[in-house]
Structure 1
């Protein structure tokens, strides 16, 4: 072999060794951030919330009252976790019978549903 071939072989060996070194280094993969479906319902209204309903927006109907035998007095809060990711609809009924609804809230983004005298706010 002449010097040019030896030089080319040396360069290729060096290039391959760099590839091998890179392949031997551990690769750190950061886990993807998942959706946290937990949220708070905070009563900032002046009335007691007697019923709270929420359901996935793809479903028809409201399902069961999430407060059950409890109520949510003004200034109090309760924590919940949605069963699935995606858009949810919310409905509250105050003790005086008045209702308010908030539709298509992304529970992966909103972590609080605030009940006000004017209705519901997601943030």
Structure 2
């Protein structure tokens, strides 16, 4: 469950008040999904998707961002990897076109660009590259 952004200042103020009495400074981490300003999604747009590793190599990093952005954003796998045959579940923050990038353990990368997240439910990684379906 994600927290509405409008609640964040109030929560941070409460946490800050509690931290005044603590000996050590407090660090607050609030994860946010990759996205841009909301795009009207129309009825039935589901932004959940799966990364399916149909390659013979382990995926080390997985990045995606709205196609309108110039950067890839953070690695969505964190400390995890996606071994051959495994599936990773993800969700884009907004409707629209997205770009995807993976890197493999041991080197090499593949990219897939301008994929309508409302129409694609799976991003497949093969030894030859990536495709959406």
TM-score, normalisation: structure 2: 0.68
Equivalent residues in 2 for 1:1-123, closer than 5 Å: 33-123=43-133
TM-score, normalisation: structure 1: 0.73
The CA RMSD measured in Å over matched residues stands at 0.9
Deviations 1:84-111 (A, max 9, x none): 1000000000002100000000000000
Specify the structure having the higher radius of gyration (Cα): 1
For structure 2, which runs of at least 5 residues remain unmatched after alignment? 1-41
Distance 1:97 1:66 in 2: 18
Secondary structure in structure 1 of the residue aligned to 2:84: coil
For structure 1, which runs of at least 5 residues remain unmatched after alignment? 1-31
Q: Which runs of 4+ in 1 moved over 6 A?
A: none
Counterpart for residue 4 of structure 1: none
Larger proportion of helix: 1
